[in-house]
Structure 1
Amino acid sequence: MVSLFVWFAAAWVGGTAAILGSLMAIGTLILWCVPNQSGAWQNQLKLLGFSVGLTIVGFALLFIFSGSPANIKF
C-alpha cells in the first residue's frame, strides 16, 4: 500500500510541476513582448530558466513513474 501512495504522490507532484512550469514559461515569454524601461531582462531570463527547469523536472517525474504502480519496484 505504501508503494501505491508513493506512486500517486509522485505522479501528482510531477503533473503539477509540468503544468505549472509550462504555464509559467508561456507567461514569461509573453512578458518579453511588454516593453520595460528598467532593463530587467536578467530577471525575466532567470524566471524563464526556473520555469523550464520546473517543467523538465515534472515531465521527468511523470516519465519515471509512468505505467501502473504494480510494475514499479521499490
Structure 2
Amino acid sequence: MGSPQNLTLEGRLKGAERNKTKALKNENNTKAKAYIEAIQNEDLSLRLMAKKLNDAGFKTSTGKQFQATKVKRMLNN
C-alpha cells in the first residue's frame, strides 16, 4: 500500500510533480504532442484527434492507445 510518510500532502505533491516531470520528458509524449499541435487547427474533436494518433501508430508514455482525455491533458500542458 505504500509508505505512510508518502500519504501526507507533501508526499502526494512530490509524487505528482515527479509524474509530471517524467511525462514531459517521455519521448512518446513529446512526439505525440507535436503531432497534436499540428492537427489541432483541423477543428477535430478530442476523440478524433486520439483516433488519428492511434492510426498513426503513436502510443502513450505507458505504451497504450490514446483516449480523448489524454489528448485534452496534453493540450492543456
* TM-score range for the pair, normalised by the shorter chain length: 0.3 to 0.5
Higher helix content, 1 or 2: 1
Output the TM-score relative to the length of structure 1: 0.36
Output the TM-score relative to the length of structure 2: 0.35
Q: Is the radius of gyration larger for structure 1 or structure 2?
A: 1
**Which structure has the higher relative contact order (CA within 8 Å, separation 6+)?**
1
